[in-house]
Structures are given as structure tokens and as C-alpha cells.
A and B are shown apart, each in its own frame.
Chain A
């Protein structure tokens, strides 16, 4: 489990400091898809970057199964990073490497496996994300969805305990988004990973949101799950979630008929 306690973060700007996060506290559970949602500029990306250690918070604690990363030295942090996988918004695949090269990269850098074992593990990850046959393709030869899947293969290569995803569905069509959501959900449950997904895609929220943290103007606005989100008395959250007519209709329908969305995206 990852727990953040009273995180604050501000940045130096011309004319003074600008505070982005105000005392954020939340828990992210093992084997669950934990979603951080909020409007653009609400501070969710800054929160994720604090959690993964790319930014250092001004104050507060970030506990990875009890280990506080805000007081870790470089060596301890390096060890912890081997337990972390991350999927970036733009996939961040290495352009000069093939899909196989990308999936093997963490193994080459951090494992003691032989090259054959590394290749075998990478192939397992590539197969797991349904990219079999694309091992020798370069990122520029892949579609957006395939790039995301290749990035997931790389992120899970070292069998991480924690998986972070920054806007995994950005730039993808709705159907491909569901495929990526499903994949993240399945991998999370299959390997018991603590997955944190930073998103503002409502399909993801309603589909795989097992633990949702809503960030509003740098504060925690609401915490709950996809079933509870339909009936929350929180104007900020409702303005965000039900910003479109479609989702307002979905909410009405669900409240009346008990609408449920299966994991594969089919309605019943």
C-alpha cells in the first residue's frame, strides 16, 4: 500500500511561490486500480510526480508499505525504484530500441539474468499485453494503443510492486482506451500490484475505479469508488464527472435502473 500524508508542494515563480498541493492525504491499496482524478491544473500530475519521487514535497510523508521516500537517501531510493513501473502519457518508449529492446531494458540494467532469460521474460510481458508479432518493430512503427501496450510491457518487466500510469488513455479512441483500462485492471489483479492511475477519462473512472481520489484545486475533494461516485453530494466532483450530457444521462439511468458496466465495457 502507498500512503501519502499531508503532502504540500509549491513552486518558485516570478512574483513569488505558487502552492499547488495543500495537505493531501490518501491511501492507495494493493491489488486495486487506484485512480487520481481531477480537472486539468488541479495538481494531480504534481501529486503523482511527488509520489514517484520526481519532485520532493515541501512537507508531509509518502509511505511505500511503511517506507518513507521523503527521507530516503539516493541509494535507498535507487533500490525502491526497481519496485516501480511507470506508464507515461506519451508512452516514453526509447526511440532507438525495438519493442523487445524496450521490454528488455529494465532487465538489462537491473537483473542478473542471462540474455536468454531476459529475452524470455520480455517475451512473456510482450505476449501478456497482446503485442506478439511486434517484437522487432520500433516505436515509430506502432499505433498509439500499441505504444501504450509496449510501455506497459516495459513497466511490468521487472515484476514491480507499484505501477503508476499518467493519463494512459490520452490520445486513444474509446475502444482502445477500454482495452488499455482492461489490461491495467487485469495486470493489477493478476500480479497484486498497487496501481495508481492519473486520469480525467470518465470511461476509466466508471469502468475500473476501485479506489478514486478526486483532487480539486490542490485539495482532496473526495475519496470513494466507482459505485459511490454516482450519488455524491459534492458540486465540484459532480461538475467534473457529469460535465457532459452523456454522463448526466448515464447517472440518471444508473440511479433509476441500477446500470452496471462489466469489465469488458459491455453494458448490462
Chain B
């Protein structure tokens, strides 16, 4: 029963994507909505990203210093390890887990509310492809902006480590800067950016699907929003493992 229901949901999800990824009715209207989504989903998230990244960068630096306090290890290892953690995992995967809470619930509740208040039915009756009209700008908008958010996250996290060195002297500032520069592998940045494209697709499409298929009222919209975030997070982690194996190992 569970397997049958899961397969049915996957089929529905694929049909939903099929309807969403069609040519827009009006390109001008599509671009207007696309830019709006970039602003709403991406630019509006920058303050949250800066706050979280600053603190995580600082915490990483402190905790790594505490845990590799060994005279056999070079002091610059603190900066180097902080950088690797941030580039490989935090700036893409952990950031997207955080953003799925903000953006995913936003998308699911917005589309879900439109469903229960018959706004989607109104679009369908007018002859507008509602899935395409509502979902495509969000998916493409998030795919466009998320890599930039990842870059902001990388820079801010490393800056957070720098600030903690300046104000608390956990390690010498010059040593930290040397550490974050040494043995730099450019591919790790590309790896994070590639992952972010997949995560953007996962967050936007799963959340939109849950919102679009809501039946009932405000309670169901809330449940759909929660389910969207939970499933997005699980899929982000699964995809993270697969991509890491494919791209790094």
C-alpha cells in the first residue's frame, strides 16, 4: 500500500513537472514573474544568509582550534580546515537545508493558499497553464540566484572566521589568512555551485508540488508546508551523498 502510494506520488510529481516545464503563454509576463521570484526568493534571503554564515564561520574556527590543538599539526590547519568545511559542505548543503525551511515553506504555503482559495482554479478556467505560470518562474528564479547566494555564504563564513580571530585571538590573523589560502582547490568551489543547482531544483519543485496538490483548508496548507520542507531536506541529503560520490571521490 505504502509502495503503491509512493509510486503514485512520484508519477504525479513527474506529471506536474511535465506541465510546469512548458513554453510560457506570455514571455513578457514570465520574465516579470521570474525577476520578481529572484528578488523574493533570493535577494530577500541575503540577510539571513549573512547572519547564519558569519556565526557558523566563527564557530567553525573556534571548534577546529579546540579540536586540533596538537603541536604536530601546523597552526594554519585551523584556517585550512575551516575553509574546506565551508566550501565542501556548509556553503551548499547546510545552507540549502536552512533555505529550504525559509524558501520551501514560502513556496508551498503561497501556492497552497492559492489552491484552497480557488485562485489556481481561476487560472485554469481562464485557460492559463497554472503549473507553468506559477512554478516555472520560481524554479528558474531559484536556480539562477542560489549559486550567487552560495558564493555570498562562502565569503561571509570565511569573514566570520577572520572576525573571531581579530576579536578573540583564537589564532593569529595572519596564520588564519595563510590557512584559508594554502592548498586551495578551485574545483571545490565549482563542486559547491553545481550542488546548489540541484538543491535549488529540489527545493522549488518539491515545495511547489506539495502546495499545488493541497486539498482542504489552512490546516492542510500548514501540513503541506511542513511535509515539503521535510522531504526537501531528505532529498537534499540523498542528492548530496550521490553528488559527492560522483564529483569528488
A residues near B (Cβ < 8 Å) are 52-54, 77-82, 84, 86, 88-90, 92-95, 105-106, 108-110, 164
Q: Which of A54, A93, A94, A109 contacts B121, CB < 8 Å?
A: A54
Q: Once the chains bind, are A86 and B122 in contact (CB under 8 Å)?
A: yes
| Chain A interface, DSSP helix/strand/loop, else mixed | mixed
Q: Once the chains bind, are B126 and A81 in contact (CB under 8 Å)?
A: yes
Q: Once the chains bind, are A88 and B121 in contact (CB under 8 Å)?
A: yes
Q: Once the chains bind, are B118 and A108 in contact (CB under 8 Å)?
A: no
Q: In the docked arrangement, what's the CA distance between A53 and B124, Å?
A: 9
Given the known inter-chain contacts A89-B118, A92-B118, please indicate yes or no for A52 contacting B125, CB distance below 8 A: yes
Q: Once the chains bind, are B121 and A78 in contact (CB under 8 Å)?
A: no
Given the known inter-chain contacts A92-B117, A92-B119, A94-B119, please indicate yes or no for A109 contacting B125, CB distance below 8 A: no
Q: Once the chains bind, are B121 and A92 in contact (CB under 8 Å)?
A: yes
Given the known inter-chain contacts A108-B26, A108-B29, please indicate yes or no for A90 contacting B126, CB distance below 8 A: no
Q: Once the chains bind, are B122 and A78 in contact (CB under 8 Å)?
A: no
B47 at the interface (CB under 8 A from A): no
Q: Once the chains bind, are A82 and B124 in contact (CB under 8 Å)?
A: no
Q: Once the chains bind, are B128 and A88 in contact (CB under 8 Å)?
A: no
Q: How many A-B residue pairs lie within 8 Å, measured between CB atoms?
A: 50
Q: Once the chains bind, are B127 and A78 in contact (CB under 8 Å)?
A: yes
Q: Give chain B interface residues in 64-119, CB to chain A under 8 Å.
A: 113-114, 117-119
- A166 vs chain B, min Cβ distance (A): 8
A110: B residues at CB distance < 8 A:
25, 126-127
Q: Which 8 A-B pairs have the closest CB atoms?
A: A81-B127, A92-B118, A92-B122, A88-B118, A78-B127, A86-B125, A92-B119, A90-B117
B118: A residues at CB distance < 8 A:
88-90, 92
Of listed B29, B124, B126, residue having the most chain A CB within 10 A: B126
Q: Once the chains bind, are B124 and A54 in contact (CB under 8 Å)?
A: yes
B124: A residues at CB distance < 8 A:
54
- A144 vs chain B, min Cβ distance (A): 14
Q: Provide a sorted-by-A list of 14 A–B residue pairs whose CB atoms are within 8 angstroms.
A: A53-B125, A54-B121, A54-B124, A78-B127, A81-B125, A81-B126, A88-B121, A95-B117, A108-B26, A109-B25, A109-B26, A109-B29, A109-B128, A110-B127
A52: B residues at CB distance < 8 A:
125
Q: Once the chains bind, are A54 and B125 in contact (CB under 8 Å)?
A: yes
Q: In the docked arrangement, what's the CA distance between A77 and B125, Å?
A: 10
